[in-house]
Structure 1
Amino acid sequence: MIEIKDLHKSYQMGANSLHVLKGINFTVAEGEMVSIMGSSGSGKSTLLNILGMLDEADSGSYTLDNKPIKNLNEKIAAKYRNQFLGFIFQSFNLINYKSALDNVAMPLYYQGVKRSLRIEKAMHYLDKVGLADWASHLPSELSGGQKQRVAIARALASDPKVLLADEPTGALDTKTSYGVMELIQGINDEGKTIIVVTHEDDIAHMTKRIVNLKDGIIIDDSKVSQVSAKAKLHV
């Protein structure tokens, strides 16, 4: 599903160049659930931005679902993002003046789906995350966990190939975090490919493989015995 080969990325910092990614190589198969870990400055955010087509590498290759992601203009990049990727953010990134239902329906609007079908699909995914009864509520009327569930429903609405979750539990307490991870694990069990960026070791072990970054290099890439978020919730 994802193939990264010899990826390099640098940024100009005044007269100096900061080499952030230093020859990254890794693949993610369809249906995998992978976490990317690393301390601040390790390169994980830069890698996620490249995976999300929000930035482009200086050299190397990135292939997503057999399509080379290279030299895309913003219109094509936006089309590919909407077609292939669902994003889940630490800060939820919901539109404050729109209801939960309208937030979930937003990616479908950009896909040109007619309103009646948008509403039907958005309700389906709100129900999937357990928030059908909250469809008319604004984000300000929701808890942090509920906001993240709305964000997950929005990410799923366009039926993306890959879910990219950037610190999805970073703004949540432990119990709420495990509830969100239980939901994400269930989505993965249905066959969705998921990449989770996290600095939390317990969250990383709720995926099936951990990729560790340090100073722009992968220092470890290991399959792990997945911890059940549901089991942790009921300890």
Structure 2
Amino acid sequence: MIQIKDLHKSYHMGSNSLHVLKGINFNVKEGELVSIMGSSGSGKSTLLNILGMLDEADEGSYVLDGVPIKNLNEKVAAKYRNEFLGFIFQSFNLINYKSAVDNVALPMFYKGIARKERVEKARHYLEKVGLADWGHHLPSELSGGQKQRVAIARALASEPKVLLADEPTGALDTTTSYEVMDLIQGINDEGKTILVVTHEDDIAHMTKRIVNLKDGIIIDDSPVEQVRAKQYV
């Protein structure tokens, strides 16, 4: 599903250059649930931005579902993001003046799906994340956990190949974090490929494989015995 080979990325600041990714080799098979860990400055955010087509590597290759991701203009990158990827953010990134249904339906608008079908699908995905009765509510009327569930429903609504979750539990208390990870595990059980960026060791062990970055290189990439979140919910 994802093939990363010899990826390098530097950022230039005046006369200085910061080499952030230093030859990353990284593959993800379809249906995997992988966490990416690393301290601040390790390169995990840069790697996620490249995976999400929000940034581009200086060297190396990135292939997503058989498609080389290289030299994309913004229009093509946006098309591929909408076609291939679903995003889940720490800060939810919901539109405050739109209802939960409208937030979930938004990615489908950019796919040209008719409004009636968008709303039907949005309600389906809200039901899937346990919020069937909350579709008319605004984000300000929802708890943090409910907002993240709406965000997950929105990510699923475009029927992406891969879900990219950037610190999806970072703004949540422990109990709510485990509820969200239980939902993510359930989605993965259905076959969805998911990458989770996290700095929390307990959350990482709720995935099936942990990739550790340090100073722009992968220092460890190992399968782990998955801890099921449901036992804590």
The TM-score, its normalising length taken from structure 1, stands at 0.99
- In the alignment, which residue of structure 1 is the partner of 2:11? 11
Shift of 1:14: 1.8
Give 1:17-36 correspondences, 5 Å limit. 17-36=17-36
Alignment deviations for residues 37-86 of structure 1 (CA, whole Å, 9 cap, x no partner): 00000000000000000000000000000000000010000000000000
Tell me if 1:195 matches 2:195.
yes
Alignment deviations for residues 181-206 of structure 1 (CA, whole Å, 9 cap, x no partner): 00000000000000000000000000
Shift of 1:20: 0.1
- In the alignment, which residue of structure 1 is the partner of 2:67? 67
Shift of 1:159: 0.5
The share of aligned pairs that are identical, in percent, is 84
Where has structure 1 moved over 2 Å in runs of 4 or more? none
- In the alignment, which residue of structure 2 is the partner of 1:209? 209
> Which structure 1 residue ranges, 5 or more long, are not aligned?
none
Give 1:13-162 correspondences, 5 Å limit. 13-162=13-162
How many residues are treated as equivalent by the alignment?
233
Q: Within 1, Cα distance between the matches of 2:8 and 2:78? A: 22
- In the alignment, which residue of structure 1 is the partner of 2:177? 177
Alignment deviations for residues 128-158 of structure 1 (CA, whole Å, 9 cap, x no partner): 0010100000000000000000000000001
Opposite residue 219 of structure 1, the aligned amino acid is I
**SS, match of residue 82 in structure 2:** helix
Q: Within 1, Cα distance between the matches of 2:199 and 2:15? A: 31
**SS, match of residue 22 in structure 1:** strand
**SS, match of residue 27 in structure 2:** strand
Shift of 1:232: 2.3
The TM-score, its normalising length taken from structure 2, stands at 1.00
Q: Within 1, Cα distance between the matches of 2:22 and 2:14? A: 20
Opposite residue 54 of structure 1, the aligned amino acid is L
Q: Within 2, Cα distance between the matches of 1:102 and 1:84? A: 21
**SS, match of residue 4 in structure 1:** strand
Q: Within 2, Cα distance between the matches of 1:118 and 1:196? A: 27
